[in-house]
Amino acid sequence: MHNFRELKIWKESMELAHQVNTVCSDFPDHEKYGLTSQLRRASVSVPSNISEGSSRKSTKDFIRFLRIAMGSSFEMETQLLLAVKCGYLEDDHEVLDLNNKVQRMIWNFIEKLNHDEKNR
């Protein structure tokens, strides 16, 4: 079991969720129940799944939750790219870079856990 509060990927994904929420506050009101809502839910899903997975007894279960977090991150990337296309967000916004960083971190952590599990 891992203490999720000590995991760098959890900390970074919390920052990502915070940035997404900040960015969404500038979206048009008509997106409140559309893109804004979708983005906020996806952004919260990433650190939530990391923390939930960290409580699991087996590495296999933890990895399953990390993969769900990764899926939410890719869902969020699509929504952020749509926000760019709609003109709600600049295409070089730092939230896109942070999301990509979190994706790489999750992937690398999954690889490390798989490697450690095989070498037990």
- How many structural domains does the chain have? 1
- CATH at residue 110: 1.20.1440.60
* Residue 63: domain span: 4-118
| Count of beta carbons in the 10 Å neighbourhood of residue 55 | 13
Q: What average pLDDT does the chain have?
A: 95
pTM score of the predicted model: 0.94
Sequential DSSP letters for 38-64: HHHHHHHHHHHHHHHHHT-SSHHHHHH
For the record, the structure tokens of 95 come out as 């939230």
Per residue in 73-102, pLDDT tens?
999 999 999 999 999 999 899 999 999 999
For the record, the structure tokens of 45 come out as 């899903």
Residue 116: what pLDDT? 86
Instruction: Report d(CA 100, CA 110) in Å as an integer.
Output: 15
Residue 85: what pLDDT? 96
Residue 115: what pLDDT? 93
- Give me the residues of the chain with pLDDT under 50, please: none
